[in-house]
Amino acid sequence: MLSSSVLFDLDGTLTDPKPGITGCIQYALSELGYRPPNADDLHWCIGPPLKDSFSQLLNTLDSTVIEQAISLYRHRFATIGLFENSLYPEIPEVLKTIRFAGYKTFVATSKPDIYATQIIKYFGLSLLFDGIYGSELDGTRSIKGDLIHHILLTEKLLPSTVVMVGDRSHDIIGAKHHQIASIGVTYGYGTEEELKSHGADSIAHSPSDIPRLIIRNSK
């Protein structure tokens, strides 16, 4: 069956959120009394759920400590970090091309949807998406597979008609879990090796590659 809907990851796929995310992680760690890593050493935190990142950074499974770190992160993110962000080149044009070709487009991000909606609006992209889906603030649907399941049910989409576009392994893993096609992008924060090793069906090295690969996946 032909693909008719495209799910886009947000961080590392549509926007480059490095300054905001790394700055907020550094702030949270400092407030907890830790010496934070340099921003360039926090690339691996861009994409996965915050709970997982802080668990590794703090070397703990203590949910109270992890939630405290997340709360501090969000204290800065909600007012400052949210907008320390930039669109990757050609993203608006890419989205327009895909929609003009007849596809529905959705945001599928582990980021809380309250923030994802603000970011998409901030960059003037709201009219280029049929829906924006993220996690809840309590962590519900922060796992990409759970989020994709929710989107498929809510939008009544058949897995065989959907393509997931993302830059990290969890995007590809979530897609595989639901037997949907996936495109891994290498201009974000995941490597080609990471994406291929988890089964990405195609690789996009720049945003302009995405429409062609989506159409190829539709054949």
Q: Is 40 annotated as catalytic? A: no
CB 206 within 8 A of CB 93: no
Phi, psi values for residue 107, rounded to 5°: -90, 135
HSE (CB half, 13 Å, CA atoms) of 162? 25
- DSSP single-letter state for residue 114: H
Residue 139 and residue 144: Cα distance in Å, rounded? 11
What's the residue count for the chain?
Answer: 219
Pair type for strands 15-16 and 86-87: antiparallel
Residues known to be catalytic: 9
